[in-house]
Structure 1
């Protein structure tokens, strides 16, 4: 139930008077009510506007207008950054990829929020962490995401839990069926950073510390993680074609029957189910010695530091991330919600059978490095791994791991 607006205004005004150094993160400059603009990636499922219409009907003096940005995450970021660097008040509420929290907070483009205004204790804990930077809340989780292993039930008796099991099954299927065994997103872009991060985590390591201040990659673990992918390419159960795959290409390859296993996000489940029916299922990503660890994805909602109507923007975020609307995010938009209880709802589980596995994957997932220079870190990771995958020799794994660690340390040291 939403807090009455007069009470919310009083709380926000009090928060705005708090010292900016408060560890709880008090909102600053939160005055202003009126019409707002919600800037987010293009809505391809047409679920957003009905949610906005409900708000507008209840708030005729504070109507929200949807401003759709490009679908590609890097293009969304570029458009937002250009607007915010110009200190424009055009955007009020920003739909941010979870990797952008630190950068936008560090640059003063978004405002800290009062934690007590949002039911964060009812959200999935790892998801909440993506909205926190330097012990302050800078955004509110809106959707979540974690990688899953898709597999063909007509080709696989028991889904693999380890890399060795995946290799054995994928290699055998490739040999017998003449199709690809396994693929993820291996083109040199953010998706490759995610896939490699998952491999490192699933081998028991991590690339960068949780606070983003130290490179914690062990060269031996990095070599093990990269070696798993290189072995697949050398032996042929990871097809060479997968080096050109992003999310869409890998989704199509799986649902068209060209892959037995595929790593992808939950959005691929619906189309695969429609095409393959009961022949498709999902499980957690495998790891070196057991179930692996996914990289956390999703989107958070933040308030522009240059918005003239920040009170309305925050109240809109409270409305938009309410339990009722989060249910619609799943049922009408097919995006993973952030409220924990929705993953245990029998009606929803019957409609979306992957929810229990997805919940496990999110709880075991790790966020990408919380660092204002994350884009530079990601570029180094993706380009280094892509170079190695293009020359899949056993020796290249160790060399790449060592040089990657050195480059990552340089970025963090000079920031």
Structure 2
């Protein structure tokens, strides 16, 4: 069957049944669709991607894949991809897209629709599959997932006979009292005005019971009272001092270092921070749990990476087969064990051997299943920019929370209404 798979895929593609038909092929300018490819994605900080590509290259001499590493920051990755695609360049074949870019790239015609039947979508975590859809069509294939977690000093909470906080009130009380007692800062997330701040604000709104946009991204659904409650959780922490002022300059790396260097009692971060913390001086002193919320466990922002095919690639058939290989179960296991990223295959989260090695997997699965994507919109870059800018003003105490969310709702409505 493995020998027949490439022939079957080729036949399906030629017949227009493999995810992009004649009109799509004409748009991309594809010829026979086979040949060497470039895989453009964010910088591989753990070095696990190239060995997986090398394995493919050893058995596909005429379809060699070259890894093109873009900047680490998502904003910069998007800028380079957009510039390439707007120029209708054929340089990129396979694109590693932040999960929130699917709508924008599909709406612009930069990526091609795919045939659902060619991928084991029923074996993947359901929320991550949703991030690959646009207007009911599959435009990308989930590759990694992500969800925010609360990192906490288990040694200190154990010494105080406390369980990790499930609500904002519990987090606030523990951060203030224990922070003072143990001379630690209480809590931090990613509060620099960039994409990370959009994520933290979205989590606060969701964890208060609200949402920013409708599921289809066509309406602003920001409830002013709920959004102000979520924002005030963060603003109040900065005003009262249990969130340190220096966290206003934190991105993921700065908050990770602050926690693993023993300066924070609690920190919001992604799962990739777990490994470095485990190898640090607090290695046996911390644990993770779900983010707290207003009245109970909160809702994380759903992150991750999807793989898509450029509409201007000359080798779309090869790109499709490469994505099938790269998102297979064996490679998904390597995503976790070698790359330290959350995989998208559901069964890996229930594997006893993996749970023994990565004790946070059950909590992470719960977080992913209860997470929500960032506001889905073909104008996401504009949406994120106005959110991070407005929220930064509030965190820096330049504007009160209720005024901030009212202005933000108006700005978002203008963006969504503009053709």
**TM-score, normalising length: structure 2:** 0.94
Structure-2 residue corresponding to 1:402: 406
Check whether the contact 2:13–2:21 (CA below 8 A) recurs between aligned residues. no
Asked if the contact 1:12–1:27 (Cα under 8 Å) also holds between the matched residues in 2, the reply is no
Runs of 4 or more off by more than 4 Å in structure 1? 16-22, 25-31
State yes or no: 1:134 paired with 2:138: no
Q: Select the residue among 239, 259, 272 that pairs with 1:254.
A: 259
**1:277-332 CA distances to partner (integer Å, 9 max, x unpaired)?**
22110000000000000000010000000111100000000000000010011111
Question: Which of 172, 176, 199 is the aligned partner of 1:171?
Answer: 176
The answer (yes or no) to whether the contact 1:233–1:392 under 8 Å persists in 2 is: no
C-alpha distance in structure 2 between counterparts of 1:27 and 1:368, whole Å: 33
Q: Are the aligned partners of 1:37 and 1:93 in contact in 2 as well (CA < 8 Å)?
A: yes
Specify which of 406, 410, 415 is matched with residue 411 of structure 1: 415
Structure 1 residue 14 displacement after superposition: 2.7
Deviation at 1:236, TM superposition (A): 1.0
Show CA shifts across 1:220-267 (max 9, x none): 001100111111112111111111111011001101111000000000
How many pairs are equivalent?
411
Q: Is the Cα contact below 8 Å between 1:15 and 1:27 reproduced in 2? A: no
2:370 maps to which of 364, 377, 395: 364
Decide whether aligned partners of structure 1 residues 359 and 203 sit closer, same or farther in structure 2, where only a CA change above 3 A counts. same
- Superposed CA deviations along residues 371-412 of structure 1, whole A, max 9, x for unmatched, are 11101111111111110111178xx11111111111100100
Matches within 5 A, 1:156-195: 156=157, 157-195=162-200
Q: CA deviation at 1:273?
A: 1.1
**Is the counterpart of residue 120 in structure 1 residue 121 in structure 2?**
yes
CA distance in 1, matches of 2:335, 2:416: 36
Mapped pair 1:72 → 2:73: yes
CA distance in 2, matches of 1:325, 1:239: 40
Report the CA distance shift for 1:19/1:53 in structure 2 as closer, same or farther (over 3 A): closer
Taking the aligned partners of 2:25 and 2:99, their CA distance within structure 1 comes to 21
2:155 is paired with a residue whose SS is: coil
Residues 10-409 of structure 1 aligned to structure 2 (within 5 Å): 10-15=11-16, 31-156=32-157, 157-275=162-280, 276-391=282-397, 396-409=400-413
Within 2, Cα distance between the matches of 1:262 and 1:310?
42
SS in 2 for 1:371: coil
Q: 1:18, 1:26 within 8 Å by CA — same for their partners in 2? A: no
Task: Decide which moves more: 301-310 or 43-52.
Answer: 43-52
CA distance in 2, matches of 1:207, 1:47: 35
Q: Which runs of 5+ in 1 are unaligned?
A: none
Deviates more, 1:99-108 or 1:302-311: 99-108
Stretches of structure 2 lacking an aligned partner (at least 5 in a row)? none
- Structure 2 distance, partners of 1:257, 1:35, is 47
Farther off after superposition, 218-227 or 1-10: 1-10
Distance of 1:9 and 1:171 partners within structure 2? 62
Quick check: 1:16–1:26 contact (8 Å CA) kept in 2?
no
Residue pair 1:15, 1:26 contacting (<8 A) in 2 also:
no
Q: Note the C-alpha offset of 1:27.
A: 11
Q: Does the 8 Å contact 2:309/2:316 carry over to 1? A: yes
8 Å Cα contact 1:16-1:27 kept in structure 2? no
In the TM superposition, residue 108 of structure 1 has moved relative to its aligned partner by: 0.9
**Which moves more between the two structures, 143-152 or 231-240?**
231-240
- Which stretch shifts more, 219-228 or 384-393? 384-393
Please give the secondary structure, in 1, of the residue aligned with 2:92. coil
Change (3 A) 1:123 1:131: same
| Deviation at residue 178 of structure 1 after TM alignment | 2.0
SS of the equivalent of 2:95 reads strand
Q: Is the 8 A contact 1:153 1:280 kept in 2?
A: yes
